[in-house]
C-alpha cells in the first residue's frame, strides 16, 4: 500500500517548483510511512510515498524505464498489489525485459512498456497508478476493477493534478476543498456515484477505467465492466469452482515480506477467509486474527432487525478452531465520543460517513492491528457478491424501486435529517436519488434470458457491487491507511466476481438462506455454529449513553456562534434532538443524521468550505 500525488502542467516548469514538491510531501504520510521520494521534469511532478510490503529493499518509487541511450522514457508512480506478478514477470522476461528487483512495481512498469495502457487488462489485484510517458508527454491513470484503491484527479487551465485522496490534490494549489450543491447532495444522499467526488472540480477515476491527459485534454475509457453471460455449470460444479477460485486467490494474497493477519468477526465471510489463510500458511506460521466488540454488548446486547447475535461468542469459537493468535479490541462509549478520534475519521475519509460509531471503531481496530501487522485480509465484498444483506431477501426491499439500502431505511433520511428543510427541498434530495437510481439501473448488463425475478436479483447485485461496495471499500482503505495498514479483499478478485456474478440466483440461495453458495463451498472449514450463523452486519453500538453523548456534542456545536455547520442545520429539528425523549426520531431524525451533523462540523473545522 502506498500513496501517490502528482501534477502535470503545460504552462509551468515543474522542475523549478521545489515549493510544490515540498507541499506535496506530507499530504499522504500515513499511506506511505516508509519512504517518500519525488521525480520532476518541466512538464510533470510525481511525489510517491511507500508502505513497503513486497521486496522491502527494492521496489523504490517512482519506477523509471530508460532507452538504450539511458534517456528516461516511462515513469511510474504506483500503489497496490498485483497478485499475478510472478507469472507476468516470467512472460515479460521471455519477451526480453530485464528486471532490477523482485517487486510487483517493476512488473507493472515493464508491463506498461510492453502493452501500454492495455496492460491493465492483464493485472489481477488491487491497484491505482499513474504513468508519465516522456516521449508522448501524456499522463495515464489506471484504477483496479472495483476501486479497492482510490484515485482522484482535477483538471484546471493551469494543469492536471492527481492523487490517492482529495486532500493530496489540494496541496498542488490547483484547487481547494470546496463543496458545492452537487457535492453536498453526493455527500449526504448515500447514493455513491462512480466518478463523482464531493469536492468541486474533482473527479474520481471510475473502477476499471483509464484516464489519459495530454495537450489535447482528457480522454477516458473502460478496460473492464460487468458482463452478463449464461452459466452452464450445475450446482455441485459451481460450489467446487467457487472453492477452487478462493483457494487460488488466498494462495496469491498471502504473499508479503511483512507480517500478515486477518480480520475475524465470527461471520461466514471473515471466518472463511481466516480458515483459507490458515490452510495456506500450512502450519509454518501461526495466523494472527483481530476482532472488535463494543464493551456494552458483552452483557447488554439486544437482537434487532439486522443484528441477530453479538460477534464475540462466534469469534471465540472460530479463533479456538483455528488456533490463531487472536486479539479482541473492546470499544466503549469513551472511544466513540473522543472528539480527536472523530475528527481523525473525517480527515481520513475526506467527508462525512454513514455510521460514525462504525468508522471510529474500525479506525481504533486498525490502529491495534498496526501494532502487530502491516497487512490484513478481510471478508469485504462477499455480501454484495453472494447476496448476504437482508435487502436481497425481504420482498419489501426487493420491490422497492430505489437503492435497496435506502428502502431498508423505511423512508427515513440516513444523513440529511438535520439539514435545513428549505435547503433540503431546494436541493431536491429525492429527485437526486431517483436520478442516480435510474442511471444505475440503465447500466445493468443482462443476457435477455432472465425471468423477472432473476432480472431483479441481478439488478440488486449490480447496485451493490457498483455502488454500495464503494462505501465498504472506501471505509476499509481510508481507515486502514489512517493507521498505515494495507487491507486485502479476496472476495473482490475479478476472476471470482466474473464467475459468481453470473451464477443464477436460485443457486446462490440453494438451501433457502443467504449466501448458501459460499456456505456450501467452505462447509468443511468452519465449526457448525459459525457455518450456520445468520448474517450479522458490522456492529453498531447499542449503548444509550452514546446517543446521549451525541446530543451533548450537538448542543455544544449549535451553541457555538462560530460553528459554520449551523448555517446548514434546521433549527426546529435540532431542538427536537436536544429536547425530545426520542432524540428527534419523532421529527424524522435518525442517529446517523445526528452523527452526520457532528461530522460536518469536524469537516468544516478542517478547512472545507461550502458554496451554495
Catalytic residues: 2
* Cell triple for 519: 456456505
Residue 331: phi and psi, rounded to 5, are -110, 130
Query: CA-CA distance, 344 to 256, in Å (whole number)?
Result: 28
For 1, counting Cβ atoms within 10 Å of its Cβ (0-12 exposed, 13-18 middle, 19+ buried), the class is: buried
**CB within 8 Å of 26: residues ≥ 6 apart:** 171
Q: 430-461 burial, b for 16+ CB within 10 Å, e for fewer?
A: eebbeebbeebeeebeeeeebeeeebebbbbb
Whole-angstrom distance, CA of residue 605 vs CA of residue 147? 29
Asked whether the beta carbons of 79 and 144 are under 8 A apart, the reply is no
Could you tell me if 415 and 354 are in contact, meaning their C-beta atoms sit under 8 angstroms apart?
A: yes
- From first CA to last CA, the distance across the chain in angstroms is 36
What HEC string does 448-488 produce? CCCCHHHHHHHHHHHHHHHHHHHHHHHHHHHHHHCCCCEEE
| Cβ neighbours of 304 (radius 10 Å) | 10
- Residue 526's φ and ψ, nearest 5 degrees, are -125, 150
Q: Which three cell numbers stand for residue 2?
A: 502506498
Q: What is the Cα 212 distance to its own chain's centre?
A: 23
Radius of gyration of the chain (CA): 24
Crossing angle of the two packed helices 452-463 and 429-441, in degrees rounded to 10 = 120
Q: In sequence order, which residues have a C-beta less than 8 Å from that of residue 430 and are 6 or more positions away? A: none
Q: Could you give the 3-state DSSP secondary structure of residue 36? A: strand
Query: Which helix H or strand E contains 166, and what residues bound it?
Result: helix 166-170
The β-bridge partners of 152 are 163, 204
Instruction: Assess contact for 91 and 83: CB atoms under 8 A.
Output: no
Q: How many CB atoms lie within 10 A of CB 337?
A: 18
3-state helix/strand/coil string of 90-148: HHHHHCCCCCCCCCHHHHHHHHHHHHHHHHHHHCCEEEEEEEEECCCCEEEEEECCCCC
The answer to whether the CB of 195 falls within 8 A of the CB of 204 is yes
Amino acid at each position: 500500500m502506498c500513496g501517490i500525488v502528482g501534477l502535470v502542467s503545460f504552462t509551468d516548469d515543474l522542475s523549478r517548483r521545489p515549493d510544490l514538491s515540498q507541499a506535496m510531501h506530507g499530504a499522504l504520510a500515513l499511506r506511505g510511512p516508509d519512504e517518500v521520494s519525488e521525480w520532476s521534469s518541466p512538464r510533470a511532478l510525481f511525489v510517491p510515498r511507500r508502505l513497503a510490503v513486497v521486496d522491502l529493499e527494492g521496489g523504490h518509487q517512482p519506477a523509471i524505464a530508460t532507452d538504450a541511450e539511458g534517456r528516461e522514457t516511462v515513469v511510474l508512480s504506483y500503489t497496490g498489489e498485483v497478485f499475478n506478478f510472478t507469472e507476468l514477470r516470467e512472460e515479460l522476461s521471455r519477451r526480453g525485459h530485464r528486471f532490477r528487483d523482485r517487486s510487483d512495481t517493476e512488473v507493472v512498469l515493464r508491463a506498461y512498456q510492453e502493452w501500454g495502457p492495455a496492460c491493465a487488462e492483464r493485472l489481477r489485484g488491487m491497484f491505482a497508478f499513474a504513468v508519465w510517458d516522456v516521449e508522448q508527454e501524456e499522463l495515464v491513470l489506471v484504477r483496479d476493477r472495483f476501486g479497492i484503491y482510490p484515485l482522484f484527479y482535477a483538471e484546471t487551465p493551469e494543469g492536471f493534478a492527481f492523487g490517492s485522496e482529495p486532500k493530496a490534490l489540494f496541496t498542488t494549489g490547483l484547487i481547494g476543498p470546496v463543496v458545492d450543491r452537487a457535492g453536498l447532495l453526493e455527500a449526504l444522499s448515500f447514493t455513491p456515484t462512480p466518478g463523482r467526488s464531493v469536492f468541486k472540480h474533482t473527479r474520481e477515476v471510475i473502477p476499471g477505467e483509464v484516464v489519459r491527459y495530454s495537450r489535447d485534454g482528457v480522454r477516458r475509457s473502460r478496460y473492464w465492466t460487468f458482463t452478463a453471460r449464461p452459466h452452464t455449470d450445475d450446482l455441485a460444479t459451481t460450489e467446487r469452482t467457487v472453492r477452487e477460485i478462493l483457494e487460488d486467490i488466498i494462495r496469491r494474497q498471502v504473499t508479503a515480506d511483512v507480517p500478515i493477519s486477518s480480520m475475524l468477526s465470527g461471520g461466514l465471510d471473515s471466518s472463511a477467509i481466516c480458515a483459507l489463510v490458515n490452510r495456506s500458511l500450512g502450519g509454518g506460521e501461526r495466523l494472527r486474527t483481530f476482532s472488535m466488540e463494543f464493551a456494552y454488548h458483552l452483557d447488554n446486547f439486544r437482537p434487532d432487525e439486522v443484528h441477530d447475535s453479538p460477534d464475540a461468542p462466534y469469534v471465540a469459537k472460530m479463533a479456538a478452531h483455528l488456533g490463531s493468535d487472536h486479539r479482541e479490541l473492546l470499544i466503549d462509549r469513551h472511544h466513540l465520543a473522543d472528539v480527536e478520534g472523530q475528527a481523525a475519521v473525517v480527515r481520513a475519509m475526506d467527508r462525512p460517513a454513514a455510521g460514525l460509531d462504525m468508522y471510529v471503531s474500525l479506525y481504533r481496530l486498525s490502529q491495534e492491528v498496526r501494532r502487530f501487522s502491516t497487512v490484513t485480509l478481510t471478508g469485504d465484498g462477499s455480501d454484495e457478491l453472494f447476496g448476504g444483506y437482508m435487502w436481497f431477501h425481504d420482498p419489501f426491499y426487493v420491490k422497492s424501486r430505489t437503492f435497496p439500502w435506502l428502502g431498508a431505511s423505511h423512508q427515513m433520511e440516513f444523513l440529511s435529517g438535520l439539514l435545513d428543510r428549505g435547503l433540503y427541498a431546494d436541493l431536491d434530495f429525492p429527485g437526486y436519488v431517483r436520478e442516480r437510481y435510474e442511471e444505475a439501473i440503465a447500466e445493468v448488463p443482462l443476457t435477455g434470458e432472465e425471468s423477472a425475478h432473476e432480472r431483479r436479483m441481478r439488478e440488486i447485485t449490480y447496485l451493490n457491487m457498483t455502488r454500495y461496495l464503494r462505501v465498504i471499500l472506501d471505509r476499509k482503505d481510508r481507515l486502514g491507511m489512517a493507521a498505515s495498514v494495507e487491507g486485502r479483499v479476496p472476495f473482490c478478485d475479478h476472476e471470482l466476481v466474473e464467475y459468481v456474478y453470473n451464477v443464477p440466483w436460485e443457486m446462490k440461495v440453494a438451501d433457502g438462506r443467504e449466501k448458501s453458495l459460499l456456505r456450501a463451498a467452505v462447509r468443511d472449514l468452519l465449526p457448525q455454529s459459525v457455518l450456520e450463523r445468520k448474517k450479522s452486519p458490522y456492529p453498531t453500538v447499542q449503548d444509550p449513553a452514546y446517543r446521549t453523548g451525541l446530543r451533548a456534542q450537538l448542543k455544544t456545536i449549535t451553541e457555538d456562534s462560530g460553528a459554520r455547520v449551523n448555517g446548514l442545520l434546521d433549527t426546529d429539528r435540532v431542538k427536537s434532538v436536544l429536547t425530545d425523549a426520542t432524540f428527534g426520531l419523532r421529527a424524522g431524525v435518525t442517529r446517523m443524521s445526528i452523527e452526520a451533523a457532528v461530522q460536518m462540523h469536524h469537516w468544516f473545522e478542517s478547512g472545507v468550505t461550502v458554496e451554495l
